[in-house]
Amino acid sequence: MAQLIDGKAVAARVRAEVKAEVEKLKAEHGLVPGLTVVRVGEDPASKIYVTGKKKAAEEVGFNSWELHPDDKISQDELLSLVDKLNKDPAVHGILVQLPLPKHIDAERIISAVSPAKDVDGFHPMNAGMLSVGKPAPRPCTPYGVMRLLREVGCDPSGKRAVVVGRSNIVGKPMALMLLAADATVTVCHRKSNLAAEVANADILVAAVGVPELIKGEWIKPGAVVIDVGMNRMPDGKLKGDVEFDKAKERASFITPVPGGVGPMTIAMLMRNTLEAAKASL
Ligand code: NAP
């Protein structure tokens, strides 16, 4: 029977570490990290995410601001708002909450954020820095997964890691981070033979968005299973991408959904914002 990986507890630890460093930064340099979240329009899920991010930012001692233009804002207006934030020395981190309204090209906006303030780690330059192994803000969700692995004593070096999903925000950066940690990495997608690939995984990361796509019987006995999936079911409950009840009988460690990877994303956003502020000194 697998041990559960308590993402809530690890995330609380990360936030406490950030808070302690913020106090030091204030005392030694008079610097308060600042995070601005831009939320365009009234997407209900975005509202929940942004509220969580603001609350975490205040708790760790950041200055935090939310800008909330309505969904009629033009792309040019949003670009000039981002430009203003890029130039504001009190703002160390800028996060433009996705999704954006259809008339706005999200890639244009992401690329307009200064790479130094891109605390989501989505800017193409920061994606490039990750791929060439140089320091830069890392996408928060896979960054959080790396911390969870460390917390359970799972060193990826020499292990076979299988990442299911190849999105720019989770799957691809996850694969690069595991590769940088010396795992042998396989990335799966719609054309992959999932059962065969998953059966080889010492470390499995599922980031798909299909409830229980990964069957418990595919899991290699003793594998560490990280479920990034957050699928809202008709009864309102959240389900992961892995068939949890069966997978936990084979895995050595497994993340629950909710309470696994989810809380780590915001915690690593705090870490990225702190690092951006320190880099501005
Ligand atoms: P995405 O952009 O939709 O990408 C999904 C990936 O899964 C794609 O690469 C797709 O393959 C692959 N896929 C979809 N159906 C598949 C199938 N039947 N077989 C094999 N591969 C399949 O999703 P995402 O943004 O990466 O998010 C993935 C999941 O993580 C979602 O549930 C999301 O809610 C969750 N998430 C959680 C957090 C968190 O904080 N915990 C953060 C971000 C995302 P193709 O490339 O071939 O289409």
pLDDT per residue as tens digits for the range 193-207: 999 999 999 999 999
Mean pLDDT of 69-80: 98
pLDDT of the residue at 163: 99
pLDDT of the residue at 213: 98
Q: Report the chain's C-alpha Rg in angstroms.
A: 19
Mean pLDDT of 157-170: 98
% of the chain at pLDDT higher than 90: 100
pLDDT of the residue at 27: 98
26 labelled catalytic? no
Helices (H) and strands (E) in the chain, counts: 10, 11
Kind plus residue range of the DSSP H or E element containing 94:
strand 93-96
Q: Residue 55: exposed, middle, or buried by beta-carbon count in 10 A (0-12, 13-18, 19+)?
A: exposed
Mean pLDDT of 250-269: 98
Q: For a substitution probing ligand 1, which of 8, 228, 238, 261 has the most ligand atoms within 8 Å of its CB?
A: 228
Mean pLDDT of 264-280: 98
% of the chain at pLDDT higher than 70: 100
In this predicted model, what pLDDT tens digit does every residue of 99-155 receive, in sequence order?
999 999 999 999 999 999 999 999 999 999 999 999 999 999 999 999 999 999 999
Phi and psi at 221, nearest 5°, equal -55, 130
pLDDT of the residue at 81: 98
Nearest to 36 by CA among 60, 61, 65: 65
97 labelled catalytic? yes
In this predicted model, what pLDDT tens digit does every residue of 205-219 receive, in sequence order?
999 999 999 999 999
Report how far residue 243's alpha carbon sits from residue 167's, in angstroms, rounded to the nearest whole number.
21
Mean pLDDT of 241-270: 98
As for ligand 1, residues whose beta carbon falls within 6 Å of it are: 141, 164-167, 169-171, 188-190, 194, 207-210, 213, 228-231, 261-262, 265
Amino acid at 267: A
pLDDT of the residue at 50: 95
Mean pLDDT of 80-93: 98
Mean pLDDT of 151-169: 98
Ligand 1 center to 207 CA (angstroms): 5
DSSP 138: P
Nearest to 104 by CA among 39, 152, 20: 39
DSSP assignment of 141-177: HHHHHHHHHHHTT---TT-EEEEE---TTTHHHHHHH
Q: Please tell me which residue in 53, 54, 220, 248 is annotated as part of the active site.
A: 53
In this predicted model, what pLDDT tens digit does every residue of 32-44 receive, in sequence order?
999 999 999 999 9
Ligand 1 center to 253 CA (angstroms): 21
Ligand 1 center to 143 CA (angstroms): 16
Confidence of residue 224 (pLDDT cuts 50, 70, 90): very high
Mean pLDDT over all residues of the chain? 98
Cα angle vertex 177, ends 247, 197, to 5°? 40
DSSP 44: H
pLDDT of the residue at 177: 98
Ligand 1 center to 163 CA (angstroms): 10
Report how far residue 160's alpha carbon sits from residue 12's, in angstroms, rounded to the nearest whole number.
29
Atom of ligand 1 minimally distant from the CA of 191: 47
Q: Please tell me which residue in 6, 54, 97, 172 is annotated as part of the active site.
A: 97
Report how far residue 234's alpha carbon sits from residue 201's, in angstroms, rounded to the nearest whole number.
31
Q: For residues 188 and 164, is the Cβ–Cβ distance under 8 A?
A: yes
pTM exceeds 0.75, yes or no: yes
53 labelled catalytic? yes
